[in-house]
Amino acid sequence: MAAALLLAGCAGPLSLPADGDSAAQAGAVAARAREAEVIYLGEQHDNPPHHLHQRQILEAMLAAGARPALAFEMLDTGQQGAADRAMSERLGPQTLADRLHWKARGWPDFEMYWPLFELAERYGLDVVAADLDPAVARRIAHEGLATAGAIRSELASLLPADAWREAAIARTIRGAHCDLLPESRLPSMVEAWHARNVTMARRITQALQRHRQVVVIVGSGHQGPGGLSAQLEALRPGTRQLVVEMAEESAGGDSGGLSARADIVWLTPAMERPDPCAPLRRPAQPRR
């Protein structure tokens, strides 16, 4: 409790260690979130401790009396009706996952996310389907924002021009695709990334018309420079935002310091993963 109070009283950026008292740390985050309108709990989607800490933070907020809406990157805007109906029926985890087409949409094990939905059910929290329709996002990524037609203006980035920022976003996207994307593809990929962030920002803004707070479950990549919080600030200037990033320690245990994009970084042990680019680096085998 003393650790939580100490952290909560600090106005600057916080770094929460991987080996700390997670209950106290969650309480500290919840205390910092008290005056925020939007609280981002950025994750690496396949990391179980990240989802555990998200649950702990939300539980601490609820215990303190908060009743936020709960917005998910993992649900697109076209699923809002289905999500509302499914939540009202209080389904079990497997049935809810099936109803939301979770596995078919390519998200990691729903069991990691179920505790958040269970808390939403128990406390009557509104669930917000936040992301852009993936078919629209794919079309923009392949053919550019112009293909969005009548909704193009609703999906365009709201940020002032910044060549350095856009180049940095393009480098990140290229790296995420094993540096194999042709240069000609990058502008439309950046447009699709912005379109998703703008969509989520608009959905959060709509939720704030009905709720004092919104907790956002989102991949940490959307918290980068020019990302979701920047688009929300452009759309709704002055919104009080708290950016929490769940971050894995490096292999040597060095945190590398606080992320420039986060108010709070909660460190977790590094996960071992196969290199997704390794198969693409193997030389083609000759046909026999």
Q: List the chain pLDDT tens, one digit each, 288 residues.
A: 444 444 544 556 889 999 999 999 999 999 999 999 999 999 999 999 999 999 999 999 999 999 999 999 999 999 999 999 999 999 999 999 999 999 999 999 999 999 999 999 999 999 999 999 999 999 999 999 999 999 999 999 999 999 999 999 999 999 999 999 899 999 999 999 999 999 999 999 999 999 999 999 999 999 999 999 999 999 999 999 999 999 998 754 444 444 567 999 999 998 998 888 888 766 555 555
* Amino acid at site 222: H
Q: In what order do the strands lie in the sheet with 14-16?
A: 14-16, 264-268, 241-248, 38-43, 214-219, 69-76, 127-131
Count CA within 13 A, CB hemisphere, residue 49. 17
- Alpha helices (H) along 89-151: 93-99, 114-123, 134-143
**Alpha carbons 197 and 275: distance in angstroms, whole number:** 27
Closest CA to 56 of 34, 17, 27: 27
* Amino acid at site 95: T
Q: Which pLDDT belongs to residue 250?
A: 74
**Alpha carbons 158 and 161: distance in angstroms, whole number:** 9
| 72 contacts 54 by C-beta, under 8 angstroms | no
Residue 139: partners with Cβ closer than 8 Å, 6 or more residues away:
147, 148
The CATH code belonging to domain 37-270 is: 3.40.50.11550
